[in-house]
Amino acid sequence: MKFGVVVFPGSNCDFDTFYVLNSVLQQKTVFLWHKEHNLQNVDCVILPGGFSYGDYLRSGAIAKFSPLMQEIKIFASYGGLILGICNGFQILLELGLLPGAMLMNKNLKFLCQFVFIRLENNQTPFTNKGKVGQVLRIPIAHYDGNYFAPEQKIQELKKNNQIIFRYSEASGKITPEANVNGSLENIAGLANKEGNILGIMPHPERASEAILGSEDGRIIFESIINYLNEKKKI
């Protein structure tokens, strides 16, 4: 299998993500320059965290016009796996591949800290190695991570089990205090209705080795690998 990590001007987690996939998890991984039109036959596209185009307009708003994004939209329409991390999540929202928008954090401050997130749905390509109710300790680093969508859309997300991760206490309890950025329904990650696209605000690539303080983020990458391995057997 083959992973592709998209590189934008301003990306700062592209090499982190590449390292985890290529060196830690021993998967073939390539960089995908945002101005190209070739996805290099990858099985999974990852939009990494960072500040694409310096967030000079709105997080992800300029990146959505990059040439490669047109190829990614086609890739998505055919069921291709796409993982958007932090700024990557914001880009997926701007592209319309996921519903809703990101507002500034409730305290109007950039947040860089470990948080706990509870796994709500393990029936996706990104979470099949986890258990429902499992709590992961993964860091965040963002200013615009306050997820918002109209109430009707929130109810639809609930109905379709598209809310994949929610901010929680270490115990797994969902509380306002655990919701550090103010996201509706404590949403930390969500998928599209078809399940082939996941956007998540915390950084799993920063929690994939014990030396970094947590290996919980590996669950997401290992789930993708497991899903693709099983798919190839069919």
205 is catalytic: yes
Looking at 44, 94, 120, 203, which residue is catalytic? 203
What are the structure tokens assigned to 46, written together?
A: 């990852």
Looking at 94, 120, 185, 205, which residue is catalytic? 205
34 is catalytic: no
Largest CA distance in the chain: 48
What are the structure tokens assigned to 115, written together?
A: 């948080």
- CB distance 4 to 42 below 8 Å: yes
Beta strands in 8-72 (DSSP E): 28-33, 44-47
- Sequence-distant (≥ 6) Cβ neighbours of residue 144 within 8 angstroms: 55, 58, 59, 90, 102, 103, 104, 105
Looking at 34, 44, 86, 94, which residue is catalytic? 86
Q: How far is CA 46 from CA 39, 74, 187, in A?
A: 11, 15, 20
36 is catalytic: no
Q: Nearest CA to 128 among 39, 191, 65?
A: 191
The total number of residues shown for the chain amounts to: 234
Phi, psi of 199 (to 5 degrees): -115, 130
Give the amino acid at 54.
Answer: G
Residues with active-site annotation: 86, 203, 205
